[in-house]
Amino acid sequence: MARSPWFLTALILSLVSPEASAQQIISGPGRAKDGDTLMVGDTDVRLFGIDAPEFDQTCTRDGQAWSCGTAAADQLINLVTGKDVECRSAGKDQYGRTLGRCSVGATDVNRTMVELGYAVAYRRYSSDYVAAEQSAKAAKLGMWGGSFETPEHFRHPGNATTVTTSRREAPNAAQSDWAASTQGNCNIKGNRNRKGQWIYHLPGMPYYDETRPEEMFCSEAEAQAAGYRRAIVR
């Protein structure tokens, strides 16, 4: 029996994937809540693919602590508050917030926060903003002007990792470009944790991908000789 066009349309819509249906557009006046969450109209939106410091988080610059979490919130306030914001939904997070790629006119809000150095690329979920992060890091903008804990590790202090723009003392550009050292088998990451301990991470360990190292090593013996100990896996 021939099916009507209406029936075929309904069938197609019923087969749309959750990913496709999640790409709804949310728009309305914006109001920042912190560095990576905002209200768009009546919708609570978490900026997708980026992670900003927590509101009460501090970073270090020239040996002095500064309120990078508050500064990140101020940046988002400047970008969205009182303006018409449009977000493309990427689904929901574990707290029920809409994950969004947001813009104000031609300004990509997610990317701008990372480019200014007030958020990092959230590699666990997306690589969209890695280039923006590298640009901010090279220019030492925002948090990259000193050292800081990644926001994710600040929220979970037992596994905190310190990110710094320098290796121990004053490295040259080749030393600070750790990515070059990952070629071959030199892929062991050395970093300081929140307690000032020197820790190294092996590929496959928890938080290996999120760790931004201060030094790279080719063997555990080399890392241990430099004063690092192996990360404890629980």
Where do the structural domains in the chain lie, given as residue ranges? 18-145, 157-230
Using 50, 70 and 90 to split pLDDT, how confident is the model at 5? low
DSSP structure class, residue 52:
P
DSSP structure class, residue 20:
H
Tell me the pLDDT tens digit for each residue of 70-111.
999 999 999 999 999 999 999 999 889 999 999 999 999 999
Rg (C-alpha) for the chain, rounded Å, is: 21
**Token couple for 11:** 């069938």
Pick left, alpha or beta for residue 49 (phi over 0 → left; psi -120 to 50 → alpha; otherwise beta): left
Q: Are strands 43-47 and 98-104 parallel, antiparallel or unpaired?
A: parallel
**Token couple for 79:** 């970008």
The alpha carbon of residue 40 and the mean position of all alpha carbons in its chain are separated, in whole angstroms, by 21
122 CB-contact burial (10 Å; exposed 0-12 / middle 13-18 / buried 19+)? buried
**Token couple for 60:** 């270090």
DSSP structure class, residue 6:
H
Residue 10 has pLDDT above 50, yes or no: no
Tell me the pLDDT tens digit for each residue of 114-150.
999 999 999 888 899 999 999 999 999 999 999 998 8
Instruction: Write the CATH number of the domain with boundaries 18-145.
Output: 2.40.50.90
Residue 3 has pLDDT above 60, yes or no: no
How far is Cα 227 from Cα 221, in angstroms, rounded to an integer? Answer: 10
Please report the pLDDT score of residue 194 as a whole number: 67
Cβ atoms of 101 and 110 closer than 8 Å: yes
Query: Quick check: helix, strand or coil at residue 227?
Result: coil
Cβ atoms of 114 and 51 closer than 8 Å: no
